[in-house]
Amino acid sequence: MLKRKPPSYKHNISGTDIRKARTTLGLSQDDFAALLGYRYTSTAVSRLEANGARLSGTRARLLRTLMLIHKHRKILPEALTENLFVKKNSMTREEFTYLRTMLNLSQNDLAWILRFKGSQMIAYLEGGTFSITKKTAQALWTLAEKSIKKFVVLDGFHPLSDHELSKIKGELGISWTKMAACLGMNAIGVSSTKKRHELGRSQSKMLRILLLLSRNKSSLPRELAIMIPYKKLTSTRLKQIRIALGMDQSQFAKATGECSSTSISAMEQNHRKVTERISKEAERLEREMKPND
């Protein structure tokens, strides 16, 4: 069974370690700031590396997760590895078209700003005929940040809607309290609708990465697998495991530890929540049974 450390709210990462992580990822301070959701400013990273500031709980967890994704990038799906890319240096054609529209520019106007010969090049970029270069992406992101008052970044950092947040919570099968622990936050940080709407950029990205990890857990290396929040068994699944083991409720209660048959019965009938301990013990018994099948 994979061991999971209990959540901790102490996230001490030294300035030396932060600089080492940035160097490993091959990023400038500006790009590293963008990767951690600091809105493309290198000032915060300079202070972190000089030990003049400390990473928040969520950003510390985000950095550790990104470093593990980078370490295992050759065997991970693209949906995970693309979280290592800095939006400032790349752009999809949908984002390109969206930003031009938000800036209220015609194709001809944007061509003039980017010093292209004519609007045809903009049409080619938006149509996907040509790829958007790093230089063009940087220029348009910078222009958007300076010109759009309520600038929305179209990457993993954009705020979660209440619907998207509830969907992630449901798919991960965790409580608001456990979600807070996964983000390195105090439980009250996501315990109410009002607070959930205030989730920051790094918290939004961390939750999206956890969802991707959960969807790909069967192919993950152990280091990443243990980061996925544990999802307790449903009452139906618990009963299925017990029957497959050929045990009655009393035998199953003894096999899973200090638990009565009455408790097992209540869990199977959904009169009581299946505890995390019983879930893990049931899964352990199921795994031990499989080699003998």
Alpha-carbon dihedral 267, 270, 271, 276, rounded to 10 degrees: 40
Of the listed ranges 56-70, 77-91, 130-144, the one predicted with least confidence: 77-91
Name the class of domain 235-292: mainly alpha
From the list 17, 154, 156, 139, the residue with the least C-alpha distance to 84 is 156
Of the listed ranges 177-186, 191-200, 207-216, 263-272, the one predicted with least confidence: 191-200
Give the per-residue pLDDT at 227.
Answer: 84
Say which residues have a Cβ less than 8 Å from residue 20's Cβ, sequence separation at least 6: none
- How many Cα atoms are found within 13 Å in the side-chain-facing hemisphere of 29? 12
Say which residues have a Cβ less than 8 Å from residue 292's Cβ, sequence separation at least 6: none
Q: Which of 3.50.50.60, 3.20.20.150, 3.40.50.2300, 1.10.260.40 is the CATH number of 87-147? A: 1.10.260.40
Overall average pLDDT of the 25-32 stretch = 84
- How many Cα atoms are found within 13 Å in the side-chain-facing hemisphere of 286? 15
Regarding pTM above 0.85, the answer is: no
Degrees to nearest 5, angle at CA 65 with 62 and 69: 135
Q: Is the pLDDT of residue 177 over 60?
A: yes
Which runs of consecutive H residues, i.e. helices, occur in 6-133?
A: 15-25, 29-35, 43-49, 57-71, 78-81, 93-102, 107-113, 119-127
The band of 41, judged by pLDDT with boundaries at 50, 70 and 90, is low
Q: Pull the structure tokens for residue 159.
A: 């705020």
Strand ranges for the chain from DSSP E: none
Q: Which long-range contacts (CB under 8 A, 24 or more apart) does 121-126 make?
A: 125/93, 125/96, 126/93, 126/96, 126/97, 126/100
Helix axes of 162-172 and 201-215: crossing angle, nearest 10 degrees = 40
Q: Is the pLDDT of residue 23 over 60?
A: yes
In this structure, what DSSP letter does residue 221 have? -
Give the per-residue pLDDT at 4.
Answer: 44
The band of 243, judged by pLDDT with boundaries at 50, 70 and 90, is very high
Share of the chain above pLDDT 70, in %: 83
Of the listed ranges 5-9, 34-38, 130-134, the one predicted with least confidence: 5-9
Domain edges within the chain:
87-147, 162-225, 235-292
Query: pLDDT tens digit string along 140-173?
Result: 887 877 776 544 444 555 667 777 888 888 888 8
Say which residues have a Cβ less than 8 Å from residue 40's Cβ, sequence separation at least 6: 30, 33, 34, 88, 141, 145
